[in-house]
Amino acid sequence: MLPNEEQALIHADRAQRLVQEGRFSDAVDECISALRHDARHAGACLLMAELQAMGGHLEPALSFASRGVREDYSNVRAWTMLANIYCQLGGVYLVLALEQIEMGLSLDANNANLHYLKGNCHAQLGERNLAKASYAKALEANPKHPFALYDSQALALADPPAEG
């Protein structure tokens, strides 16, 4: 029998293929198998977080994303996923989302998705000017970022007309 880490990698790779095939339930089963062999497998944790979030199960997704970040703290995608889940939870979690975003930006200062999420958090908090600035940074990093384009335009349309 192969060592646990190798078994975990095999199951995690299989889970990735199953996701590409649209077989999400089977992918969850493979992630569970991977994590049974190696509970610290960051890739399996992150894929499981993504699958849980897709299913609308944000609390378990948050748990798996947190584990994934702990196991691979230099993974910008992991920080982005964790921040995104916090953003989806909203409310008091928005402050935590902003903290995760800053951690991700410390690794990749020009990450358009993180700047977009930062704008999203600020918009939800009613901080329109900070939201606009973050969307602008996202568009600076990726001028075709679809969500940043849409949300920055939506904010501009929602602005009261200038007096004059």
Q: Is 163 domain-assigned?
A: no
| CATH number, position 56 | 1.25.40.10
Where does a domain end: 56, 72, 88?
72
Q: Which of 52, 72, 92 is the last residue of a domain?
A: 72
Task: Indicate whether 19 and 44 sit together in one domain.
Answer: yes
| pLDDT confidence of residue 4 | 87
164 lies in a domain?
A: no
Q: Which of 16, 37, 72 is the last residue of a domain?
A: 72
Indicate if 67 and 114 belong to the same structural domain.
Answer: no
Burial of residue 128 (number of CB atoms within 10 Å: 0-12, 13-18, 19+): middle
Q: Is residue 86 classed exposed, middle or buried when 0-12, 13-18 and 19+ CB atoms within 10 A define those classes?
A: buried
Task: Looking at the structure, tell me whether residues 88 and 35 fall in a common domain.
Answer: no
* Residue range of the domain that includes 21: 1-72
Q: Are 119 and 97 in contact (CB under 8 A)?
A: no
pLDDT tens across the length of the chain (164 residues): 567 889 999 999 999 999 999 999 999 999 999 999 999 999 999 999 999 999 999 999 999 999 999 999 999 999 999 999 999 999 999 999 999 999 999 999 999 999 999 999 999 999 999 999 999 999 999 999 999 999 998 888 887 666 65
Report the domain count for the chain: 2
